[in-house]
Chain A
Amino acid sequence: MTARAVENWTLGPMNAFIQEAQARVVLLMTPGGQVLAQSGFARAVDVMSAAALGAAIMASTSELARQLRQPPFAALNHQGERQGIFLAGLQTGRGPLVILAVYDLGVSSLGLVQLFFEQLAADLRAASPAPSPQKQVLAADFERELTESLNSLFGR
């Protein structure tokens, strides 16, 4: 299973992470929920839901840490009966990013995902372009840009 990306510089590090950590589903996004790359999703609506929920979890845990006067939590892991969900933030030249990974417990483990997440973060930092200047978000462009992103993410 290979990744599909809106921003191609993420592809190499993402594919290496998927292969090494044996992750089943991976989503790379900004803390605001804008998706840069995905792997393992079959439907656009699932990508949008996961991105929105992941971004919301990151926002709420960051605020919780702020209220506790702690630095933001490095990573969040949820272990279910058969699958684990790993959510973590990382810094790149493009700005802060968030990764959401789902792994099968019979195939991978939290230790493996954590180990190769560190490699992913380093690879993304090395591959990332300089941050682009903030452009104004216009309602008229939003739907077109979202459609283009989803088309890229699903190879349409």
Chain B
Amino acid sequence: MSDAPYGEALDLVTRVPGVRAAMLVSGDDGLIVAEQLMEGVKGSAVAALAASLASRLRRAMEAAGLGASLFWHLQAEGGALLVVPAASGVLVVAVTDPNVNVGLVRLELLRAAEAAA
């Protein structure tokens, strides 16, 4: 599933080598708005759990007096999860290989978040 103009926003992210999935996720309900996935990535599970995590992180940030989170990066053995919350309440999510260029993915996630907002 990749509906324009959301598909164009995701194209920015999936063009980066090492990105296995890019999604726009509704932050409130954890449902996928648009997705571009490689085989083996469970999009709906990633979306639901990333939105749940985002909600808890937001509260943690508020409790710590740090304001809204702009970007988060979870590094795992087999890859990474990178998320940028967009102003519209949509989360831009990328699932990547472990050796991806994180800086470049972050830049494209921010651009996709602007486009999605």
User: Do B29 and A109 have beta carbons less than 8 Å apart?
Assistant: yes
User: Do B31 and A115 have beta carbons less than 8 Å apart?
Assistant: no
Identify whether the interface residues of B are mostly helix, strand, loop, or mixed. helix
- Select from chain A the residue with minimum beta-carbon distance to B31: A111
Q: Does A16 sit at the interface, judged by CB under 8 A?
A: no
A108 to B53, CA, bound (A): 10
Q: Does B52 sit at the interface, judged by CB under 8 A?
A: yes
Q: Taking each of A105, A109, A112, A114, which has the highest tally of chain B beta carbons within 10 Å of its own beta carbon?
A: A109
Chain B: residues with Cβ within 8 Å of the partner, total of: 14
* Interface residue ranges, A against B (CB under 8 Å): 79, 84, 105-106, 108-112, 114-115
Known contacts A109-B52, A111-B51, A114-B44; 19 further A-B pairs (Cβ under 8 A): A84-B29, A106-B55, A108-B52, A109-B29, A109-B30, A109-B48, A109-B51, A109-B55, A110-B29, A110-B30, A110-B31, A111-B26, A111-B44, A111-B47, A111-B52, A112-B30, A112-B49, A115-B45, A115-B49
A-B residue pairs, 8 tightest by C-beta: A111-B30, A111-B48, A109-B30, A110-B29, A115-B48, A112-B48, A109-B29, A111-B31
* Interface residue ranges, B against A (CB under 8 Å): 25-26, 28-31, 44-45, 47-49, 51-52, 55
